[in-house]
Every structure is written in structure tokens, then in C-alpha cells.
Amino acid sequence: MADDKTPADKTPADRHTSVLLERSLELLGPALGRPGAVLVDCTLGLGGHSEAFLDAFPELHLVGLDRDPNALRLAGQRLERFESRIDLVHCVYDEIDEALEGLGIDGVDGILFDLGVSSMQLDEVDRGFSYSKDAPLDMRMDDTAEFTAAEIIATYSEADLRRIFRDYGEEKLADRYARKIVEARNAGPIIRSGHLVDVIQAATPAKFSNQGHPAKRVFQALRIEVNAELSVLEDALPKAIDALVVGGRIVVLAFQSLEDRIVKRELQKRAVSTAPRGLPVELPEHRPELKLLVRGAELADEAERERNPRAIPVRLRAAEKIRSIA
């Protein structure tokens, strides 16, 4: 049956289908069975993953982090029946160490990252994340923050626009788009997504017209810049791994190559020996800190990709903490 509910009418469960939920449960589960185990959902969103873990592990305590106050409110409603077993914290996930310290938690058994923009943020047109619907150029994951995509478009130099389109959007036409945006804003402010899309489409050569929506990578780049997503992730991963107890596990779901590259680098770095080459005996302090739990990056299977199109780009990586560095 077609879903005829509007976003405002939908419950959190209606509005979001959690990606790779069963696989996340399978990978994190062995670390969460003991009484009092703690799982940190670093990207709480609408609480789909968290609800499944709280149902599956009756003695689990959940710490849910999110920078979006609206997500925290809706997830809190969804998880209300677990009130005695949850702590929800408004923060960016690179503040995980401060959040845990504030709760008096010294170590955790599981860490989950479900990266990227949430379904709720995509579905709420006025947030400006989508290039397919006209809205204010906002793109803030935390709508209490001040820095917006409109400010980037209005104030960044042509060189800086080119840089973020190239580095964060991997956009081949970064030079052309940056130049045309600067020309367009000189004629009047660009404050809505529809106006920006029009500028990008007019600047796109016909030979690129069959390569997907021309604004997709520009919007990705703007979103990453507004929310400092890559630098936040680079700061957060080491802190998250440090917070794990021995035997604890981490699962990361990434939805674009830039995120996945950062995750791969950090997990692999900690999963190899640091012993100098040629050392006859590996000393304990050189042993790997992590054991990788999957080979490379896992994809959603065909059935899930058909059922939930938002699972198509996902890349899952996971590891277990096997040594603590004191």
C-alpha cells in the first residue's frame, strides 16, 4: 500500500528505515550481552538502530548522541519506554569523550556510527538538503547553529567554492560551477536551493546531461562544509575507539567515499602491529589494538537495496578492541 502520510504525520518508525540493522546487531551483539553493557549510538537520528538494540538486549544501557535537537526530541518519544536505560545528549559526535565523562562512564562496549544526512533531514523540505525541491539554502544538521549554505554561497571566494566542490563533492566541473555561481550572485543574492540548481543546470554542458543530477555533488559539498562532517569524523573516530573496553566493538556505516576513506584509514591503522620492521619478537606494546571483523567494506544485499533505496551507497566497516593502550 502506498504511504500517504505527510512527514509531519509520520511517527519516527514510519519516517525512517534503518540501514543494515540486522547486520549491525550481529556484529555488535557479542559485545553487548553482559549486564550493564553500554552502547553509544553516535548518530541517534530517529532512533531506529537504538530501539532495535534496546529490544534485543534487555540489560543494555544506551547513550544516544545527536547534533539535531529535533532528532533528539523525536527519538526520545520513540524510546520513551526505555527511559531508565537511556541517556540522550545534544552534541556533535566528536564530543563523545566529553559526553561520556559528563555521564560518569569510563568505558563502553559498543559504538555505532550511521553517518551522513538523516532521513528526517532529507524529508523536511525547509532544511534545504535536497536539490529536488526549492527551499532556503540552509543544510544545518543542528538548526541552532548559525552557519548556513547560503552564507557559503554568498561569501566564499571563487577559489574556495572550487575547493569544496572538488574536495568534498568530487565534482569534475568544480571550476565552472564556482565561476558561474560568483557571476550569478553578483546579479543578486542566491538564498534558495531552486535558484542555485538553476545556476548549476545552466552551467552544465549538454554532454554531461545524462550523468545524474548536476547539482548532486555540489549539494553534498555544501552540506559537508556547513556541518564540518569530515573533520568531525576524523576527530571522533579515535576518541570512540579509545572509549571502547577490551572486547568492545565498533560498527560504522558510511554513505559516500570520503567518509569511508577516513573510516578505513583509522581502523586499519589500529589493526596492524607497530613493531619496527625486522624486530625478532613483537613486544606487547606493539600488538594491534583492533581486529577487523569484516573484509573490506560490506554492502547491503540486493534485497535490502530494493526494499530501501537509501541502503544502496552504504559501506559498513567493523572492528573489535583487542588491546587497550593505557
- 31-53 pLDDT, tens digit per residue, is 999 999 999 999 999 999 999 99
Q: How far apart are CA 132 and CA 193, in angstroms?
A: 9
pLDDT digits (tens, 9 = 90+) for 55-98: 999 999 999 999 999 999 999 999 999 999 999 999 999 999 99
* Range scoring the smallest mean pLDDT among 86-90, 113-117, 122-126, 296-300: 122-126
Q: How many residues does the chain have?
A: 326
* Residue type at position 25: L
Determine the average pLDDT of the residues in 179-190. Answer: 97
111: enclosing H helix or E strand: strand 108-114
pTM (predicted TM-score) = 0.90
Is the separation of the CB atoms in 31 and 57 below 8 Å? Answer: no
CA distance linking residue 230 with residue 72, whole number of Å: 22
Question: Which residues, including other chains, have CB under 8 Å from residue 167's CB and lie 6 or more apart?
Answer: 221
> With 0-12 CB in 10 A as exposed, 13-18 as middle and 19+ as buried, what is 277?
exposed
CB 304 within 8 A of CB 311: yes
What percentage of the chain has pLDDT greater than the value 90? 79
* Least confident stretch, 2-16, 26-40, 188-202: 2-16
- Distance (Å, rounded) from C-alpha 114 to C-alpha 214? 26
Name the least confident of 3-7, 203-207, 235-239, 256-260. Answer: 3-7
For 85-113, what is the mean pLDDT? 98
CA distance 89 to 303: 34
What pLDDT does residue 185 have? 97
Asked if residues 109 and 247 have their Cβ atoms less than 8 Å apart, the reply is yes
Alpha helices by DSSP H, listed for the chain, are 12-15, 21-28, 48-56, 69-78, 96-103, 119-123, 149-155, 158-169, 174-187, 193-203, 216-227, 229-243, 257-270, 302-307
At residue 6 the predicted structure's pLDDT band, cuts being 50, 70 and 90, is very low
Residue 65, H or E segment: strand 61-66
Instruction: Classify residue 128 as left (phi > 0), alpha (psi -120 to 50) or beta.
Output: left
Over residues 230-234, the mean pLDDT reads 97
Q: CA nearest 37: which of 24, 28, 46?
A: 28
User: What pLDDT does 162 receive?
Assistant: 98
Q: Which residue has the higher pLDDT, 247 or 125?
A: 247
Query: Position 282: which residue type?
Result: E
pLDDT band at 287 (very low <50, low <70, confident <90, very high): confident
Residue 320: closest CA among 39, 6, 31? 31
pLDDT at 3 over 50: no
Give the per-residue pLDDT at 278.
Answer: 66
d(CA 116, CA 55): 25
Confidence of residue 286 (pLDDT cuts 50, 70, 90): low
Residue 5 has pLDDT above 60, yes or no: no
Does pLDDT of 177 surpass 50? Answer: yes
Question: What's the confidence (pLDDT) of residue 2?
Answer: 34
pLDDT band at 208 (very low <50, low <70, confident <90, very high): confident
Closest CA to 244 of 267, 261, 228: 267
Q: What percent of the chain has pLDDT over 70?
A: 91
pLDDT above 50: residue 111: yes
Q: With contact defined as beta carbons under 8 Å apart, do 271 and 133 qualify?
A: no
Contact criterion met (CB below 8 Å) for 114 and 45: yes
